[in-house]
A = this chain, B = another copy of it.
Amino acid sequence: MSLNQNGGPNALDRLVTLLSKLPGVGKKSAGRISYHILDSDPSYARALAGELAGLHQAIRRCSNCGSFTETDPCPICADPGRDHSIICVVERAQDVRIIEESREFHGLFHVLGGLIAPLEGLGPNSLSIGQLVARLRGDNVKELILALNPTVEGDTTALYLQKLLKDFPVEVTRLASGLPVGGDLEYTDRLTLSRSFRGRVKV
């Protein structure tokens, strides 16, 4: 029987249910997207299906830095043109993409795989901190840039790493926190304002 409670075809319903599990896609967006795909040329649905079916086989984690890659080590770790003496520490693999798109950083990365969050039962052992320490011991790393979100968990993790690495011959820095470019003092929250005061720079 292909009639469901909404009177729509079941295949469409199943697609809507699956799509509505994606981040930022609610039930309504999932419906709109599904009908859009149905209205589009079938080649689009086939192409998307193909990419999804092969995704987890094509992409693995880099054994060195933990970012997503098709080759191991990843192209960034394998690139001799990049500065191997600086490692940028990020929470998740997608942060690598975001920083790469800014074209601001030319060193290597290290993906922690999360942040320390005691309330959620996430301690240092659930992160790839051991691998990071091994990289610091093996390679000639001069600076470690902590590119962690300015949140309670990000601050906790930064503090933990700072203490852990205080005897290593490596400079530990953290991304500046303050007013966003184009922002307005009036709409800036108290904590951001306080940080931008503490981190004020000479002009």
Contacts and interface: CB of A to CB of B under 8 A. Distances in A.
Given A7-B100, A8-B97, A75-B7, A55 B37 contact: yes
Contacts of A96: 7-8
A122 interface: no
Interface stretch (A10-18, A139-147, A175-183, A194-202): A10-18
B100 A6 contact: yes
Protomer copies: 2
Chain A interface size band reads 35 or more
Interface stretch (A41-49, A123-131, A153-161, A162-170): A41-49
A3 interface: yes
Most chain B CB within 10 A, of A9, A18, A79, A97, is at A9
A31 B97 contact: yes
Chain B CB within 10 Å, residue with most, of A35, A49, A69, A70: A49
Given A14-B51, A44-B21, A53-B46, A69 B9 contact: yes
